[in-house]
Chain A
Amino acid sequence: MSKDSNGHIEIINKTENEIKEINKLNQVVLQTIKLTKKFGGLIAVNNFDLKVYKGEISSLIGPNGAGKTTVFNVVTGIYQADGGKVIFKGEDLAGKKPHQIIEKGIARTFQNIRLFNNMTCLENVMAGQHCRSREGVRSSIFRTSSQRKEESEIREIAKRRLQQVGLWKYRDELAKNIAYGNQRLLEIARALASNPDLLILDEPSSGLNDKESEDLVKFLKDLLKENLTILLIEHDMNVVMGISDWVTVMDEGKKIAEGKPEEVYHNPIVIEAYLGKEEEEES
């Protein structure tokens, strides 16, 4: 069997069952197969194949408008796919709603931060555990002892996550009142609060300064120790090169390359896609 540069077994000309077997060996956590999403006449994602391997940091890169965010939105159930499949831990996610998908173990952040602005930082992270808690209406109205116990557990976990991203001191601040860089971190903390298997981040370093980006890279690498897998969309090449185990490049809805960061970096097709776009923008 042929292997790619990262030691993943290649799947070329295999039947569906063989693919399943190989994915198990490769420990593929998330896979999209021929994923397609259209907006009217525009094909934003076109027969797109993506694989995310367990315990790695994978990056999805590509020029503006390539369809990266749309892939995330389909994976997390915000949009329904027009074709193809999303497989997470061997299960087809078709037709699942976003709140069910986070329960399965995929938590996300947004490109343009979406926090609960008029709630405190602590409440934001506590909300992240919604799918991991159970107490219902009756026990909440009467504040039963089991409800209070669960509530204090939620608070404990939220505290840990806030400390982890270094925002515990802002716990009682409203989310809208903290600095932009901290809002990005808060969104990650909220996603982590659901204790996900796969964390997907849409341009986590956008709007951060160099120092903050560096800290973010360190933070994400540290996260891998928690038995987590990370998929991110990233524009900042320094971040991508410094952090990724595996890079997938997309352009105009299609996958144009994948591999280790340095391979991708020197791939003429990738350079072409990026440079072409830059020249267009400059002229």
Chain B
Amino acid sequence: MKLNENTILKNWPIFLVIALLAVSPFMMNNYWIDVFFFFGIYALLGLSLNIVLGEVGLFDLGHMGFMAIGAYTTAILNTHFGIPIIFLMPVSALAAAGFAWLVCSPIIHLRGDYLCIVTIGMGEIVRLTLINNPFGITGGPNGVFGIDFLSFGGPLVIDTSIESYFVIWIIVGLSILGLINLQRSRIGRAWNCIREDEIAAESTGIDVRYYKLLAFVLGAGLAGVAGNIYASKLMIVSPESFTFMESCMLFCIVLIGGMGSIPGVLIGSAAISLFPEVFRTFAQYRMLIFGVAMVVMMIFRPGGIWPRKRGAIEFKSLLPKAGEDNV
């Protein structure tokens, strides 16, 4: 992409957002910088779930399981073997992606609600396994602590809030670039075709099984990266961060923002992470408010706040319909 005047003029909202994200940490205190750090983590997770849910239309309510695999891979390999966090980033991504490939291969043919239930089970099994402390490596309910900071060697150690803020948002930015390219490729098209009509997709030459698995593997890999950054930022990982409720939150991010829409994911994750901070007093009603928001959304804006441009994908269109399989 050539960065001439025209591209800047046409895409001014994007450049405005980038500029705002770049300067805002210098005007915030550490508390708010951390809030924005978690906004970034949610954005990355939302983007990763969006591949599976938004692009392909597969219901995945166990997505935190993949992040947990990434976070624990980083935590265990770092604390036991002292491997630097930076090297563990690709390792965590591969571990989560490999895990996704392993558990999703046998279930990938399930559709809609069945797949949803199995992914819930998968996420919960990961969490319970971590609690049960297999081989004494996951630390049980307490988790693993004493994880190093991310370091690029020498004095370049990411140990302040503002530094980790930039790390996460640069990674979010790079992921968005890659994901936009994917959306515009034959792979993104194949994913969308599957979401629209599986039988037609298969008959059009798309290996439905392969592309569904690919979505899970890429989504899990990205969630694994989020896990790696999360672990080194908090310096501790414990099973309670990866609950079913958190997976539901990710689901909400994609639904609220607009399925298959990258700006939508950013808006959704902003809503999930910033809202409770702004309305501190209502914090205990967080779930209630989200519930109501979801219901209202489904009725008045079924395509999400910022739907994908070429046509809003409504959540209910993904639900299995009677007689859909009759060709």
Contacts and interface: CB of A to CB of B under 8 A. Distances in A.
Contacts of A147: 185
A141 B196 contact: no
A119 B186 CA distance: 13
Interface residues of A, number: 43
A99 B207 contact: yes
Interface string B153-194: 000000000000000000000000010011011111110110
Contact of A143 (B181, B189, B192, B312): B181
Given A110-B327, A133-B186, A140-B186, A127 B310 contact: no
A108 interface: yes
Contacts of A174: 310-311
B189 A130 contact: yes
Contact of B185 (A103, A114, A135): A135
Contacts of B189: 119, 123, 126-127, 130
Contacts of A150: 186
Contact of A137 (B184, B197, B214, B311): B214
A233 B184 CA distance: 36
Given A78-B327, A130-B190, A135-B185, A118 B313 contact: yes
A91 B203 CA distance: 19
A69 interface: yes
B185 to A, nearest CB: 4
B181 A76 contact: no
Q: Which of A78, A98, A128, A133 has the most CB of B within 10 A?
A: A98
B274 interface: no
A237 B317 CA distance: 37
B235 interface: no
A194 B205 CA distance: 8
B203 A102 contact: yes
> Interface extent on B, as a size class?
20 to 34
B205 A102 contact: yes
Interface in A108-154: 108, 110-111, 114-120, 123, 126-133, 135-137, 140-143, 147, 150-151, 154
B327 A118 contact: no
A166 B196 CA distance: 24
B295 interface: no
15 contacts: A78-B199, A98-B199, A99-B202, A102-B204, A108-B203, A117-B196, A119-B311, A126-B186, A127-B190, A127-B201, A130-B193, A140-B185, A141-B182, A143-B181, A174-B310
Interface of A: 69, 73, 76, 78, 97-99, 102-103, 108, 110-111, 114-120, 123, 126-133, 135-137, 140-143, 147, 150-151, 154, 174, 176, 190, 194
Given A69-B327, A115-B196, A127-B206, 8 more contacts: A110-B200, A110-B203, A115-B200, A117-B197, A119-B189, A119-B311, A131-B204, A137-B182
